[in-house]
Amino acid sequence: MKLFSRKSSSDDLQDRLAEYASDSTLTLDDVELSQPFSERVIIPLIKWVAESVTRITPEQAIEKSRVELEQAGRPIKSPEMLFGIKGTLAIVIMGLVIFSMVASNQRFIIILLAAPLSAGLGFMLPTLWLGSKKRARQTEIEKSLPDVLDLLVICVEAGLGFETAMLKVAEKWDNQLAKGFARVLQEIRLGKLRTDALREMDNNMGVADVKSFVAAIIQATTFGVSIANVLRIQSENMRDKRRQRAEQAAAQAPIKMIFPMVFITFPAIFIVLLGPAYLQVADSVLGG
């Protein structure tokens, strides 16, 4: 009886192992199909286009794109990937335009003119998007710099070192400037000189106020000037610049309001005021 029980349990175990082995055996096609569509099709296509485009792109253009990506906060990992997205969008948009024109029976000369224009538009769209990301990041840095300098002044005057004060800024805020300080501190821990790390932060941000701040800190470090005094002067200057920018924006507001008032507000007012009178005149003329 025991022998039969052991044999039965052994058979059950073998059956379960065989069933598990048959279920777990996956072919290469099954593994590929289990991945998302973007990883199976879109990303390999972008990489292939990136290799093709960067092969004919000058090195200066690639380096310029690398700087712009850094100044925009690296929304895309590499300039090669950026060029891949540009080329892919150019091909896709051009294909859609050609297909729609052929389907609507447009003349060949119109299709011939629209194809390169649509491809150029698709190639430029990522550049426009990257430029908007860059401007938004730089605007955020300009707005946060005076407050960051105030905290640096307080920390340094309280007896903390400059790098410790930068650490306090990185811990207190979660903006782009605080992230830049955290990156500087990380590079210093890895052995880079503070001046070199600050210069790299300046290059990665591309903001004139940050350039002035970095130059002042490097000069104070080189000549042994009190960093607290330099930070205080920089803080006052940055606040004056922020106030001047606010006054300039307020002065430009009436000019920027002309277009929406003329083309949006005034037509609506005219329709509300003159619409009933026009209907009455039309009724009287048609009725007469």
- What does the pLDDT look like over 249-265, one tens digit per residue? 888 888 888 878 877 88
Q: What is the mean pLDDT of residues 119-137?
A: 92
For 187-205, write each residue's pLDDT tens digit. 999 999 999 999 999 999 9
Q: Is residue 284 part of a domain?
A: no
> How far is 229 from 233, CA to CA, in rounded Å?
6
Residue 72 domain-assigned? Answer: yes
What share of the chain has pLDDT > 70, as a percent?
Answer: 85
What is the signed CA dihedral for 220, 193, 155, 201, rounded to 10 degrees?
90
Q: Do residue 116 and residue 189 come from a single domain?
A: no
Mean pLDDT over residues 220-246, rounded?
A: 86
Q: What is the pLDDT of residues 168-190, one digit of tens each?
A: 999 988 889 999 999 999 999 99
pLDDT at residue 2, as a whole number: 43
User: Which pLDDT tens digit goes with each residue over 22-51?
Assistant: 544 555 555 555 666 666 667 777 778 778
Residue 267 belongs to a domain: no
Is the pLDDT reported for residue 217 higher than 60?
Answer: yes
Which one has a higher pLDDT value, 8 or 14?
A: 14
Lowest-confidence segment of 18-22, 57-61, 82-86, 132-136 by average pLDDT: 18-22
* Residues whose CB falls within 8 Å of the CB of residue 257, separated by 6 or more in sequence, listed in order: none
Query: Are 232 and 144 contained in the same domain?
Result: yes
Q: What is the pLDDT of residue 179?
A: 92
Instruction: Quote the pLDDT of residue 201.
Output: 92
Asked if residues 197 and 206 have their Cβ atoms less than 8 Å apart, the reply is no
> What pLDDT score was predicted for residue 271?
83
**Which is higher by pLDDT, 49 or 114?**
114
Predicted pLDDT of residue 214: 93
pLDDT of residue 131: 93
What is the predicted pLDDT for the residue at 136?
93
Q: Do the domain assignments include residue 18?
A: no
Final residue in a domain of this structure, among 107, 135, 163 = 135
Residues 173 and 239 in one domain: yes
CATH number of residue 191's parent domain:
1.20.81.30
Instruction: Round the average pLDDT of the chain to a whole number and report it.
Output: 83
Domain that holds residue 112: 34-135
Average pLDDT, stretch 65-69?
A: 91
Same domain, 121 and 202: no
DSSP string across 120-163: HHHHHHHHHHHHHHHHHHHHHHHHHHHHHHHHHHHHHHTT--HH
pLDDT band at 134 (very low <50, low <70, confident <90, very high): very high
DSSP helix/strand/coil, 72: coil
pLDDT at 133 over 90: yes
Is 275 within a domain?
Answer: no
Assigned token pair, 205: 């941000």
So what's the pLDDT on residue 46? 76
Q: Residue 3: is its pLDDT beyond 50?
A: no
> Do 74 and 50 reside in the same domain of the chain?
yes
What's the pLDDT at 248?
A: 84
Top-confidence residue, 26 or 76 = 76
pTM, rounded to two decimals: 0.71
Residue with tokens 């000037």: 225
